């Protein structure tokens, strides 16, 4: 017969009780995390009547990483972007209930006192921020232990564009056109402009945040690209508000031509909605129509020579640190050496 000290037995029992309690808490936590979303209390028609649905504009294009273009500078540009911490912002998309996409923009609001943008998804309201967009796009810091560095503005940006190469000295940022920036930077700038903003034309003017993104890439500086993308996103929201006001005014005036109201940033909107739904137990509405990734507007073939020109002009060569070993071993690299230091 084996004898057990009473104190030892007491400690053993206590440990068993503690273990049972921890297991129970863990099971309850897991159960809470896996609780299915409550059935929706409103139908799609009650959230946003179909007659009020808006068309999704051709903006914030989706980049297909498998698409090949003949000009070798395209693949080199993609390879450079793929080494940044925000490349997923070019390729991310999601399948979401179309009604939530409509509701997202139908309920979009801005509080001028607090500077906070808000929207509703199903029954819940959410505040939108650069941090939310950062999480939705899975943008992680380049150097986690180091704070972000502020990108340049004003004359520094102008000097930067002149260094990259432009037909004539740039004096005002608003005069810059994507198509007139020299290669290989024009291709990268075009990819940023078309995939991360509402700009879809090479003649569009890249705003400060876009040029600051390019500066961060070229100088390999720890820039908060998520904040810059958010700045462009909120600019799109404000433009949407302005168009909405003009649209509503047109509806009240029978003699005035009605300006169609389009949803901007359809791809980013879906990514945000998917992130919110995944982290807040929002009903997925399996019976509702879905806006699929395949419904996104896809980036087409880039034009590498400005309209009316026949020769591709190159400016500042790509700095050595941007040319990784993988790029050097890629097929486009040998034919692209003239613009690579």
pLDDT digits (tens, 9 = 90+) for 262-282: 999 999 999 999 999 999 989
In a domain, 143, yes or no: yes
In a domain, 48, yes or no: no
**pLDDT greater than 70 at residue 169:** yes
Residue range of the domain that includes 180? 60-339
In a domain, 28, yes or no: no
In a domain, 24, yes or no: no
In a domain, 51, yes or no: no
**pLDDT greater than 60 at residue 340:** no
Cα–Cα dist 193/181, whole Å: 13
In a domain, 54, yes or no: no
Q: How many domains are contained in the chain? A: 1
Peptide bond into 184 cis (omega under 30): yes
pLDDT at 276: 97
In a domain, 295, yes or no: yes
pLDDT at 35: 54
pTM above 0.85, yes or no: no
**pLDDT greater than 60 at residue 56:** yes
**pLDDT greater than 70 at residue 338:** no
In a domain, 255, yes or no: yes
pLDDT digits (tens, 9 = 90+) for 236-263: 999 999 999 988 888 888 777 778 899 9
């Amino acid at each position: 017969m084996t004898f057990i000290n009473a104190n030892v037995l007491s400690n053993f029992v206590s440990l068993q009780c503690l273990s049972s309690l921890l297991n129970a808490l863990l099971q309850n936590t897991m159960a809470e995390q896996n609780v299915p979303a409550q059935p929706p209390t409103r139908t799609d028609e009650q959230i946003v009547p179909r007659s009020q649905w808006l068309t999704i504009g051709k903006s914030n294009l989706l980049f297909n990483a498998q698409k090949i273009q003949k000009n070798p500078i395209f693949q080199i540009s993609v390879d450079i972007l793929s080494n940044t911490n925000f490349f997923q912002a070019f390729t991310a998309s999601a399948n979401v209930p179309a009604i939530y996409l409509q509701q997202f923009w139908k309920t979009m609001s801005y509080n001028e006192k607090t500077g906070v943008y808000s929207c509703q998804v199903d029954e819940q309201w959410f505040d939108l921020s650069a941090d939310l967009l950062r999480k939705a796009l899975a943008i992680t810091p380049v150097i986690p232990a180091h704070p972000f560095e502020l990108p340049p503005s004003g004359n520094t940006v102008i000097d930067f564009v002149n260094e990259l190469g432009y037909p004539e000295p740039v004096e005002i940022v608003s005069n810059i056109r994507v198509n007139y920036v020299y290669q290989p930077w024009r291709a990268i700038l075009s990819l940023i402009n078309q995939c991360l903003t509402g700009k879809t034309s090479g003649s569009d003017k890249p705003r400060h945040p876009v040029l600051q993104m390019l500066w961060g890439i070229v100088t390999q500086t720890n820039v908060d690209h998520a904040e810059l993308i958010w700045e462009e996103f909120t600019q799109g929201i404000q433009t949407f508000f302005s168009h909405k006001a003009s649209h509503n005014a047109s509806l009240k005036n029978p003699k005035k031509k009605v300006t169609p109201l389009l949803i901007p940033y359809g791809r980013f909107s879906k990514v945000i909605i998917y992130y919110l739904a995944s982290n807040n137990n929002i009903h997925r509405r399996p019976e509702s129509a879905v806006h699929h990734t395949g419904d996104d507007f896809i980036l087409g073939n880039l034009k590498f020579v400005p309209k009316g020109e026949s020769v591709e002009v190159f400016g500042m060569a790509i700095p050595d640190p941007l040319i990784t070993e993988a790029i050097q071993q890629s097929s486009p690299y040998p034919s692209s050496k003239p613009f690579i230091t």
